[in-house]
Amino acid sequence: KWQESTDCRSEILCYLTEQVPQIYCLEEVPHPQEEEEKATDLLLQPLECFLFGEDPHVGLEKLQQDSASSHLCGRVFKEGETTYSCDCAIDPTCVLCTDCFQNSVHKGHRYKMHASSGGGFCDCGDLEAWKMGPCCPKHDPGATAAMETLQDADHVLEPGLLERAEKLFRVILHYITELLVWEEHDELPAELRPVHKDTYYCVLYNDEHHSYDHVIYALQRALQCDHREAHTHTALIDKEGRRAVKRGSLRSCLQVKEQIQTNSEQISSEPLRVEILHSAVMAHQSFALRLGSWLQKGFRQLFCQVALEPSQVAGQPSLISQLMLHDSKLYKARKVIHELIVCSLLMETKYKRLFAIEYTKQHYKQLQKDFIIDDHERSISITSLSVQIFTVPTL
Distance CA 3, CA 51 (A): 9
More confident of the two residues 301 and 222: 222
For 363-374, what is the mean pLDDT?
91
When the pLDDT of each residue in the chain is averaged and rounded to a whole number, the result is: 86
Higher local confidence (pLDDT), 5 or 264: 264
Among 67-71, 127-131, 351-355, which stretch is predicted with the lowest mean pLDDT? 67-71
In the chain, domain spans: 8-63+184-286, 82-139, 162-183+287-390
At residue 150, does pLDDT exceed 50?
A: no
Weakest-pLDDT range from 58-67, 196-205, 209-218: 58-67
pTM (2 decimals)? 0.82
What's the confidence (pLDDT) of residue 65? Answer: 58
pLDDT of 109 reads 94
The reported pLDDT for the residue numbered 151 is: 42
Per residue in 239-289, pLDDT (tens digit) is 888 999 999 999 999 999 999 999 988 888 788 999 999 999 999 999 999
At 94, is the pLDDT very low, low, confident or very high (cuts 50, 70, 90)? very high
Q: What is the pLDDT of residues 151-164, one digit of tens each?
A: 444 445 677 888 88
CATH (residue range 8-63+184-286):
3.30.1390.10
CA–CA separation, 66 vs 336, rounded Å?
28
Alpha carbon 355 to its chain's center = 17
pLDDT, residue 152, reads 47
- Degrees, nearest 5: CA angle 304-306-312: 145
- Domain range 82-139, CATH architecture: Ribbon (2.10)
Highest mean pLDDT among 54-68, 226-240, 303-317, 333-347: 226-240
What is the per-residue pLDDT across 125-142, written as a single tens digit (0 to 9) for each? 998 899 999 999 988 865
Residue 96 backbone phi and psi in degrees, to 5:
-120, 150
For residues 105-118, give the mean pLDDT. Answer: 92
Contact indicator for 136, 124 with CB cutoff of 8 Å? yes
The number of angstroms, rounded, from the C-alpha of 280 to the middle of its chain's C-alpha atoms is 20
Q: What is the mean pLDDT of residues 53-69?
A: 70
